[in-house]
Chain A
Amino acid sequence: MSMTDGPTPLPTAAAAQAAVDREATTAGPGSSTAPGAGRFKSFGSKWNALSRQQQWAFLAIVVVLAYLLPILNPPIITTEPGNNFALACFDMARFALIAVGLNIVVGYAGLLDLGYVAFFAVGSYTAAMLTSPDSPFLHIPYLWTVPVAMAVAMFFGVVLGVPTLRLRGDYLAIVTLGFGEIVRILATIIPAMKGQVGFQNVGHPPGSEAGGTPIFSNSNGVPWYWLTLTIIIIVLLLVGNLERSRVGRAWIAIREDEDAAEIMGVPTFKYKVWAFAIGASVGGLSGALFAGQVGFVNNQRFDVQTSILFLAAVVLGGAGNKVGAIIGGALVSYIPLRFTAIADYKYLIFGVALVLIMIFRSQGLLPARQRLLAYGRQAYSRISGRTGGGATPRTGQVTGQEKEAGA
């Protein structure tokens, strides 16, 4: 009945209330000062105090800077000379995309998936087996494999989800962990999947430079990064819409209390399968991009540790917050690439970082609450906005919110 039936990373109610109170303060008319809770903590409230235009302008700058990142190659931030910075940017984007996908499953719907790498693997293998000359299957242009990889991963998401999503919490985690291993082991034992030998010369998007070298070559990170970044933006827009929709509300309710959601009229099983399928398709998408960039797929890259790393990215960034997921994903990829001296200890470092995060900031770097409140305003206008004067709130604080809802 309660949230205690799984080790789902959830914001504590008290901490989340603090976020609401901050928002409530800033949403009041004329008050744009965020309480002095530290620059980082009050980012959410500052953000909400900005006008719509200011928010868009700020976003536009962030997007432009993100696109320019590998070209600017800023000192200090750069991963060179240890690692090519453009390729590092692609790797960060790839991780960020995975984290966005896994965040749908873990962050929104609260389903602990320890085998997410399986969907990533399915996507990689789909792209490889449909483009590599080593594969006996039918060959199609690389770009076509992207939607196919998503569809195949989604199919596997449903296949895994339908029998297992009747389980909860720890049991679901164990079964998904097993599924991750099954995919990896199948890749080893099924002859057509070529085990450790793998598939060489996986396809890439069309186009070549003047000299005849393909634009999307393995060593040229910039186009791959731009492609992935563009896909991330598209996925974010779609996920943002989902989040604000009925589906998003259902997911949050399931995460908070599954039985309560069911008796509120939420078809919980259906929505859990949806979360799994959508999350899986994003994982498959990322897998296809990865296969294309690296150009080589074998069974060595899809182990349990990778799954845990994906999960760490989501939890680190803030489960339930898509921007947090992006930051978490990028960080998890960036830190070992930037600090090559400590790269061998990355699991140790992320482990310690996660423990510290759980102690000092259990909601992750960017907590999920902001997103929920956006839904609150909607709920308000949906219900109260239509009922005339009866539901008019009395206190000044709530009046501010009401104006917000009316705007």
Chain B
Amino acid sequence: MTLLELDSISVHYGRIQAIRDMSFSVEEGEIVSLIGANGAGKTTTMKTISGLLNPSSGAIRFLGQDITKMKAHIRVVHGISQAPEGRGIFPGMTVLENLDMGAFGRKDRSGMGADMERVFDLFPRLKERQKQLGGTMSGGEQQMLAIGRALMSNPKLLLLDEPSMGLAPQFIRQIFRIVTEINRQGTTVLLVEQNANQALARADRAFVLETGEITHSGTGKELLANPAIKEAYLGVG
């Protein structure tokens, strides 16, 4: 079943067009990766899906419902949750307070408790550090917190914007392992990455974004094997 559908979306910053006529869809249960260089429009795409940016034309549908005009905070209630680029945690709040904010739109307390358990199972480090202020944690821990916080709304679709950015290689592998685990537990994941290698290896399907347009699409393995993509994104000539 199609969870998310972008239908010829265009996004402008003032007069500059960041995304041109983009269409793709995410099926329920998948991991879908969007890869691309700096400025290709990856973050813009994510912000448009989460509702922080409004498309200038086109439509976004979630579970068949048109959400193009829906405000970001209502999309969360409908099941779209984002871990923003650059982590975007609340630096002056503790780990626990951050996670609590992730459940802001929820009323079901027992479900919140269960999701807290789930987050602590996925990220034992967060459980150890629950009284620590978000702003004083390492980059990798902040990324864990950002993902954990996004999971606290019990989303159907988890948007991850460059989870590997600025992290040490062992953290990157760990984050991707956990993303795969989150997906196995039933959450659909849409991932935006510059780290094409990991992003493609973990993805069911993937898209390559160049200057606001999708130039390649296929399964993760297909794109990994594609010579043009190898050359451009995987650093192999």
Contacts and interface: CB of A to CB of B under 8 A. Distances in A.
Contacts of A372: 92-93, 97
A259 B96 contact: no
B71 A263 contact: no
Contacts, number: 147
B235 to A, nearest CB: 28
A253 B116 contact: no
Contacts of A246: 104
Contacts of A373: 94
10 contacts: A253-B101, A257-B88, A257-B91, A260-B84, A261-B90, A263-B84, A267-B73, A382-B109, A384-B116, A391-B113
B191 interface: no
B215 interface: no
Given A16-B92, A264-B104, A387-B116, A375 B97 contact: yes
A250 B120 CA distance: 24
A372 B110 CA distance: 24
Given A11-B92, A256-B91, A264-B105, A17 B136 contact: yes
A338 B132 CA distance: 43
Interface stretch (A65-73, A99-107, A392-400): A392-400
A383 B84 CA distance: 23
| The 5 residue pairs across chains A and B that have the minimum distance between CB atoms | A13-B135, A265-B105, A387-B113, A265-B76, A379-B100
A376 interface: yes
A383 B99 contact: yes
Q: A14, A250, A379 — which one has the most chain B CB atoms within 10 A of its CB?
A: A379
A379 B71 CA distance: 26
Contact of B110 (A268, A386, A395): A386
B147 to A, nearest CB: 13
A257 B131 contact: no
Determine the interface band of chain B, counting residues with CB < 8 A from chain A. Answer: 35 or more
Given A256-B91, A259-B52, A376 B76 contact: no
Nearest to B50: A263
Contacts of A252: 90, 92-93
B70 to A, nearest CB: 12
Contact of B93 (A10, A256, A259, A380): A256
Interface in B126-160: 127-128, 130-136, 149, 153
Interface string A252-296: 110011011111111110000000000000000000000000000
A369 to B, nearest CB: 7
A227 interface: no
Nearest to B113: A387
Given A1-B85, A265-B104, A382-B100, A13 B72 contact: no
A268 B51 CA distance: 13
Nearest to A14: B136
A20 interface: yes
Interface string B65-103: 000000111001100011011101111111011011111
A2 interface: yes
B205 to A, nearest CB: 24
B92 A376 contact: no
Interface of B: 50-52, 71-73, 76-77, 81-82, 84-86, 88-94, 96-97, 99-106, 109-110, 112-114, 116-117, 120, 127-128, 130-136, 149, 153
Contacts of B85: 1
A393 B129 CA distance: 9
A264 B93 CA distance: 14
B127 A391 contact: yes
Contact of A253 (B71, B90, B109): B90
Interface string A1-18: 111000000110110110
A379 B50 contact: no
A249 B104 contact: yes
Interface string A236-253: 000000000010011011
Contacts of A1: 84-86, 88
Given A253-B101, A394-B128, A383 B112 contact: yes
B99 A263 contact: no
Contact of B102 (A10, A259, A264, A376): A264
A375 B97 CA distance: 8
Contact of B96 (A2, A262, A266, A383): A383
Contacts of A375: 97
